[in-house]
A = this chain, B = another copy of it.
């Protein structure tokens, strides 16, 4: 099928978060800012407050990134990351989301979970539980992990090779699909009080999975939930990552902010999806959106200057080194930057030498984007143009100061986006999948590999 995007289709509005103090997606050390409360990230109130604002502002998705190790590539140790708080402490987002769900009704939640360090049986049970208790407001961001320290925390001497991690991820997904979609038939739960039949054993089956990485008997322990399979998000932008996304993902989180690279990357993924027998037009794309705004240009500049005064480069570079696998501390200023093949780090053409990289990371705007810095009208126009030209379906807002960035976005940008038809607070928002698909279905479509019957699987 060909894709004919509606230029004024409302965007899927998401908030990018990570359950930590030093927020690597904005600027790590802005927890120092006097109005910032990220030092309270270990308390529930910090998160409840953000979830309430996101819901009230018409956001669809509260997305949690995650890591399973410290950033120990930079300078060969975790010291810079620990000192600055780079993505530390790394709380488990799955122990926060249920609390946020209990205080919201429309907001959906995305949780990053690595297939490399968990077991598919318990993972499937966990997400089925979440899908039930959130009434279908849960998405899973599938990652394969990249930090060497994470491998060492799970008994693996060295990080598994990139493609090998994807092979395990493929089988991991196959197991969870069987549990979510094939183990309990739709009519299996009888809830028959009169005859005392909770379920029909003839409609509940073991999955008897025997693969290279996993042996899982089943049946699944949880009855079918509103979405059965959580909405599947994937962020791989490498060739293998795109192939994986084409096969599995319903939402891709983009590893680029370049309009033409996004267009061609999405076209690749959608074409690959069609080859897999899927309707590529239903794959949604979300881009990271780092915004700094203010009522006037002066206010914007004052904000940036203020941010800069709390910014430190080393903890930010520690994060970047972990994503790319390159120890920038060990490189001379004139050394060319090595490429970082097989990682999830964004292709980035902004610098060629270590000096240029250091120059970029000397500024609090290292991860910001000129297009999205400015007055509400300017930023809203830029978002509209970016969405139209790149073909994205939505965004994940990156924050610099919290509270602060989300509140400013809600107060200043959201009304502008509403005016442009880019946010529709009345759009059906739950179950999450219904919000994403043209057919409004809460369930995966028949063309998705998860729906393949047990007998038809390789």
Contact = CB atoms under 8 A, between A and B. Distances in A.
Interface of A: 19, 21-22, 29, 31-32, 34, 39, 42-44, 48, 67-70, 77-79, 82-85, 88-92, 94-99, 101-103, 117-119, 121-122, 125-126, 128-130, 132-135, 149, 152-155, 157, 191, 193-194, 196-201, 204, 214-219, 221-223, 225, 310, 312
A178 B199 CA distance: 44
Nearest to A31: B198
A207 to B, nearest CB: 10
B99 A99 contact: yes
19 contacts: A32-B196, A68-B121, A78-B204, A79-B201, A83-B197, A83-B199, A83-B200, A88-B221, A91-B133, A92-B125, A94-B126, A95-B126, A95-B130, A96-B129, A98-B98, A99-B102, A99-B133, A121-B153, A152-B215
Contact of A221 (B70, B77, B94, B214): B70
A97 B98 contact: yes
Nearest to A20: B221
A219 B153 CA distance: 8
Contacts of A119: 117-118, 154-155
What are the nearest 10 A-B pairs in CB distance?
A85-B198, A152-B217, A99-B102, A90-B221, A42-B132, A79-B201, A98-B99, A98-B98, A95-B129, A155-B215
Given A83-B197, A85-B198, A85-B199, A95 B96 contact: no
B155 A216 contact: yes
Contacts of A135: 43
